[in-house]
Structure 1
Amino acid sequence: MLLKSSLPLMLIMLFGMFTSCQTKPLEQPNILWITIEDTSPHFIGCYGNDDARTPVIDHLAMDGVRFNNAFSTGTVCSPSRTAIITGVKTYKTGTGNHRSAIAVPNYMKGFPYYLQQQGYYTSNNKKTDYNVGDEKAYTAEAWHESADTAGWWNRAEGQPFFAVFNFMDSHQSRTMTHTYSWYKKQVLNELAAEERIGENDFDMPPFYNDTPAMRKQFARVYNSLKLTDNKIGALLQRLEADGLKENTIIIFYADHGEGIPRGKTNGINLGYRVPFIIWFPEKYKHLSPWGTNGVVTDELVSFEDLAPTVISLAGGEIPEHMTGRIMMGDNRSKRAEYLVLSSDRADNGIDLVRTVTNGKYIYSRNFMPFIPEARYIRYMEISDIKQQMRRDYEQNLLNPVQKRLFEARPAEYLYNIEDDVWELNNLVDDEKHQELLNEMRQLLKQEMLDAKDVMLLPEYELEILAQEQAPYEYRLSDSYAINDILASAWLSGDRSKEAATKQVQNLSHPDKIVRYWAAVGLRSQSKEQLQPFEKEIKQAMSDEYAPVAITAAAMAYNQFDSSEAQSVLKSYLLHENDMLALLTIHYLMYVDNKQPFAETVRASREMKGRTYNPKAAAVDFLGSLGLVPNNPSYRQ
């Protein structure tokens, strides 16, 4: 009787064990995450560049899955890495400005924390660069170890691992910023003679002057990538020697676009698009919805997708604040139809660009179009290639395409990035593309409204705000008048009389951020459009909100040669707040007559407590006047 009555219970227990085995993975995959610096797919062999020498990367693609449409959510390292580690786009968290320290909510952990909850050993070798408050504590919570000795070899026996290895050899410092002698010693001499790519062994991008001097510098891109490829090969050999390759999914990608002038830091395809490859061992090939063994997919991938994808692979639950897609496995999300991307301040180069792409076309909105693509950024200005480009521009040796890098941008770009890989032909005025242009324009505008893009706040305001409340949460409050702010910002770049009239009206708006964007928009107007509004612009120099007063003073000085404006600007150059000093120098980089400010800029740079960005901007200013040397030994 006892055995008979227990039979249903035993069947239930057996069924439960069976279903449990069916739903739980038999073994959690190890995940090896290989990141390289500052690299666009344009310069990698498996993406069609026959001049490149990247056999290790190419072999990964040959055996795995190559993605044609993978995009960083930023165009410089720290915003990109912050979006990756948080799983949230920087225009929601307020972390889009390069190497800022903006508080995020306590519940927004670095995503490896959630892998630890699933039993994973998390190691990072070794770059962090997160734009979050108390980065040290944030890093310690996310990683079991984050150091140049970190790796899977320090985990407990049998423990699954998530291991990141970051290779610096393709970084902008190698491809352009450090001296040629440094590059020769640290990169070129590390390659065997037969591995090196010669100065005439590749095609030059058409937006560069094809001269021996430029070729000497551009060969650094190819050789730095070759050295990177060699080091990736050594890492994969170690993985195999440790008997782990057949239990490990390998994910390879770059942190953003190529570290060359017009690439990195620019809100165009060359700044955002990255190489991205996933390799699956035999036992995990079923997780790939694309297939394997050399398959190529056009599926859109954003860095926002990486955290939820890896957490899902580990068997964890996706936190509510992560809205990116799960790319693979049983819980795979629906494919994206388009992506929204962002580019903000890089070092001392202030900017704000928002972008939409569907993989074939890319639309970018430049909210500060008076700034050229080749804007002043100290880390780039000290490079031989950037100095050569400026000399060629000054000597009128560039063709119209090459000159464009140094001239004011249009408000909008629309490029067909399938047919126009170097983004030379802006289709904004093309009649055949007006429907697409309007569609992408509205997609972008709606996303900025829905996401409540908090990066529309000037950095001065973000820093003040973040001391009391995470901008991620502030943007959701009624205090953030996103509709009025975006309406004002959206006028910036519209170089018409109607837009200028509306912008002048907005200089009297009760919301200070609306007034700020009115002033920024007016700064992008032509001198002819500003002429009727001299009185209103000069009145705005006394605005109680400093970013408005500084912007108005820059216009009044450049347009009306106002002595009062000169005094206002000099006072803000010496302001103790770094962000206000940086904003002032930033505007002065693009005025017609810089000379009257030289000594004040020098004094600003030497003020006690000045941080890197205003100091770097000051040196750019002085360097443009020939008052300090433009070389790597004089960085700031």
Structure 2
Amino acid sequence: MDCNYKLIIALFFIVTNSVLGQERPNILWITIEDTSPQFIGAYGNTEARTPVIDQLSKEGVRFTNAFSTGTVCSPSRSAIITGARTYEMGTGHHRSAFPIPDYIHGFPYYMKKQGYYVTNNRKTDYNVANVKEFTQETWHESSNRAGWWGRKGSEPFFAVFNFAESHQSRTMTNSYEWYLKHVLEHLPKENQIAEDAFTMPPFYRDSPQMRKQFARVYNSIKLTDLRIGKLLQRLEKDNLRQNTIIIFYADHGEGIPRGKTNGINLGYRVPFIIWFPEKFKHLSPWGTGGVVSDELITFEDLAPSMVSLVGGRVPDYMNGRILMGNKRNTPTDYVILSSDRADNGNDLVRSITDGTYMYSRNYMPFVPEMRYLNYVEIAEITQQMRDDLQNDLLNPLQRKLFSPRSPEVLFNIEEDIWETNNLIDSKGTRKILKTMRTQLDEKLIKSHDIHFLPEYEIEKISKNTTPYEYRMGAEYPFKQIYSAASISGKKGESVIQKQIELLSSKNKIVRYWASMGLMSQEKGLLDKYQTQLINFLEDDYEPVSINMATILFQKYNDVIAKKKLIAYCKSKDSHLVLMTINNLLYVDYKEPFIETVQFVNALTTHKRFVKDACKDFLHITGVTNY
């Protein structure tokens, strides 16, 4: 009797769970690499060939204001998987892998607790320390074999599939021969996009050589579309489509020069579509059937939305909005975005957008949009662009990519999709500019943006705590630091005087930002301060000393500054070496450092990005034996 009773109870729970599993939606995520909506048919590009993606849009919901919270994969994916801001966690620098608090989990961890079978096929790139343990805790399976087919019975699933066919390696970086073998040969002739069958973005020279390279973008995305179609066919074959919500998006902007890694709309904005089966259409607050929404969405919203959708409690550290379901949050008026170091190229950009305008603040504006990144530099399209620059074949807009950036840019991203007209000095946008500046400042101050520390410093503090926890302590007086950083890139006598005054601050990070700001000042205005600048060459905080040495060598060919830069190139600390060589990439007279950089390039003790910076330096100085 006792055994029969237990058996009945067990069967009851099995049947109940099975029914509940059928009533809860499966969720399929289709993530593609490095793609902007400008190259998708559903977003108005009649030259694109993306029928599978376009059909999802026609039957579902297409979002016109969806943004990645980073402009390169690992920061973007750290925000996706945790729901926490990169500039709070310290995960904004590409593949830095600093520790995060133990209580921050990958969001599928919470979906598992709600009875979902969760899989990832296959890319992770979460940019956190102990990533193997983090990944194991997050997923039931994460591999190239993972999928809904591994579940037991009819339990609901959450399955992620990552498609690399549109990655930058295909669209520009790998050789043209590699592209032919791995992309074009996989496309039937009738599906191939010819080199004369599309419109070139205006910031590229419209030449046969550039068209040959740029056709790679369209064909790589076409191959991606075909592969997505095969996945959806398998979903249909397994009779699961009618129970599955499909979410499609790219992990950040297009993998082309000026796109990916740049803190502008072309780096942030992504295609984003949600498809609901008939039985779950009630879960869409936007409707279905070709609906277009201009609601602002960022990747911070994905984790809390998924946890809430399956009935879980959203943890406090998740900053984003819940997009759907009965706990949906009110849409926001603006979102904050960020772009930091990518590969060997240091940077710090913070952006704000309301969907119509995007304002970006460049805190290191001496670095151009076409900054030196080895993964970009080895591409034939980049080499063609630099050849065209040298041969004076570019128009003013195209040449501008190679010049120092404005410290502030404001673009109307609805009317100016290629961001060619900076409205920062326009009288008609003064009000929106003032509002966006204020909102951005307030948000960064509230968040205590940890990336206003040099990465060298974040590495040190990570030995004892996490950047996420450190940023809110008394040791990080962010308002004071931000006050110094907020004038970086601005020019003029009064700014120089303030920056020189800040060089005497007791706070080393304030001094760092004062020195960073002086990097953008013109020689004519600095001349009368030369003696004072020399006095700060011996600052005991290495990042300050590196910047001051760079300034004094670039402006005055100072011998002591040169010796210091050579010494820092030979430092045992990879961050200091990378910072020094990155600075040297933008000085006019590079010859005195060639031998030293060759020496550093031959070492095997530094992080990979140091070697990449060395390669860039040696390439542009004409050295071939590296």
When normalised by structure 1's length, the TM-score is 0.95
1:272-310 Cα deviation digits (max 9, x unpaired): 000000000011100000000100000000000000000
Contact 1:176 1:385 in 2 (8 A): yes
State the shift of 1:532 in Å.
2.0
Q: Distance in 2 between matches of 1:81 and 1:180?
A: 28
Paired residue for 1:392?
388
1:380 and 2:370 aligned: no
Q: Within the alignment, does 1:415 sit opposite 2:411 as a pair?
A: yes
Gaps of 5+ in 1: 1-19
Alignment equivalent of 1:123, drawn from 100, 103, 119: 119
Local SS of the residue matching 1:299 = coil
- Secondary structure of the 2:328 match is coil
Cα distance in 2 for residues equivalent to 1:534 and 1:115: 60
Residue 130 of structure 1 and its aligned partner are, at CA, apart by: 1.2
Q: Deviation per CA, 1:532-553: give whole Å up to 9, x if none.
A: 2212222222111110000110
Q: Is the 8 A contact 1:86 1:307 kept in 2?
A: yes
Name the structure 2 match of 1:526.
Answer: 522
CA distance in 1 between partners of 2:118 and 2:534 (Å): 56
Q: Deviations over 1:337-396 (max 9, x none)?
A: 000000000000100000000000000000000000000000000000000000101111
Residue among 540, 545, 557 paired with 1:544: 540
Query: Cα offset for 1:529?
Result: 2.2
**191-200 or 132-141, which moves further after superposition?**
132-141
The equivalent residue for 2:305 is 309
Matched, 1:449 2:441: no
1:252 alignment partner, one of 248, 252, 270: 248
Q: Is the CA contact (8 Å cut-off) linking 2:213 and 2:381 kept in structure 1?
A: yes
- Give the letter for the 1:323 counterpart: N
1:103 match: 99
Task: State the match for 1:434 in structure 2.
Answer: 430
Q: Which amino acid aligns with 1:212?
A: P
Deviations 1:7-43 (A, max 9, x none): xxxxxxxxxxxxx99xx99722111000000000000
CA distance in 2, matches of 1:202, 1:540: 54
**Which amino acid is 1:483 matched to?**
K
Matched, 1:570 2:566: yes
2:198 to 202, 210, 224: 202
Aligned residue for 1:35, secondary structure, equals strand
Aligned equivalents of 2:567, 2:584: Cα separation in 1:
13
1:94 is matched with 90
Is 1:619–1:628's contact at 8 Å kept on the other side of the alignment?
A: no
User: Is contact 2:85–2:319 with CA below 8 Å preserved after alignment?
Assistant: no
Name the CA distance, whole Å, in 1 between partners of 2:500 and 2:140.
54
Measured in 2, the distance between the counterparts of 1:144 and 1:258 equals 31
Matched, 1:510 2:506: yes
Structure-2-length-normalised TM-score: 0.96
In 2, the alpha carbon distance for the partners of 1:421 and 1:555 equals 36
- The corresponding residue for 2:136 is 140
CA–CA distance in structure 2, aligned partners of residues 25 and 425 of structure 1 = 52
Report if the CA contact (8 A) 2:173-2:380 is conserved.
yes
Amino acid at match of 2:501: Q
| Structure 1 residue matching 2:162: 3-state secondary structure | strand
Is 2:577 the counterpart of 1:581? yes
Aligned-partner Cα distance in 1 for 2:80–2:527: 46
Q: How many residues align?
A: 609
Give the distance between the partners of 2:541 and 2:624, measured in 1 at CA.
33
Match of 1:465 among 449, 461, 465: 461
Look up the SS of the partner of 1:66 in the other structure. strand
Q: Secondary structure at the match of 1:123?
A: strand
1:349 aligned residue: 345
Instruction: Find the aligned partners of 2:57 and 2:616 in 1 and give their Cα distance.
Output: 42
The reply on whether 1:79 has 2:101 as its aligned counterpart is no
Q: Which residue identity lines up with residue 267 of structure 2 in the other structure?
A: G
3-state SS of paired residue (1:249): strand
Let me know the Cα RMSD of the aligned residues: 1.2
Q: Give how far 1:478 is off.
A: 1.1
The corresponding residue for 1:56 is 52
C-alpha distance in 1 between matches for 2:542 and 2:118: 44
Q: Secondary structure at the match of 1:274?
A: coil
- Is the counterpart of residue 491 in structure 1 residue 487 in structure 2? yes
Amino acid paired to 1:96 = G
Name the aligned partner's letter for residue 161 of structure 1. Answer: F
Q: Is the 8 A contact 1:29 1:313 kept in 2?
A: no
Q: In the alignment, which residue of structure 1 is the partner of 2:228?
A: 232
Task: Say if 2:165 is the partner of 1:163.
Answer: no
2:327 is aligned, of 309, 327, 331, to 331
Question: How far apart are the structure 2 equivalents of 1:25 and 1:181?
Answer: 48
Overall identity of the aligned pairs, in %: 56
Partner amino acid for 2:306?
Answer: V
CA deviation after TM superposition for structure 1 residue 573, in Å = 0.3
Instruction: Tell me, in whole angstroms, the C-alpha distance in 2 between the residues paired with 1:96 and 1:278.
Output: 27
Structure 2 unaligned segments of length 5 or more: list them. 1-15
CA distance in structure 1 between the partners assigned to 2:405 and 2:515 by the alignment: 18
Task: Give distance in 2, aligned partners of 1:177 and 1:608.
Answer: 24
- Separation in 2, partners of 1:611, 1:605: 11
- In 1, Cα distance between the equivalents of 2:141 and 2:530? 58
Rounded to whole Å, the distance in 1 between the matches of 2:418 and 2:103 is 41
- Kindly provide the CA deviation profile for residues 314-348 of structure 1, in whole angstroms up to 9, marking residues without a partner as x: 11000010120000111100001000000000000
CA contact (8 A) 2:21 2:154 kept: no
Separation in structure 2 between the aligned mates of residue 138 and residue 441 of structure 1, nearest angstrom: 37
**Counterpart residue identity of residue 322, structure 1:** M
Task: Check conservation: 1:31, 1:249, Cα contact below 8 A.
Answer: yes
- Match of 2:620? 624
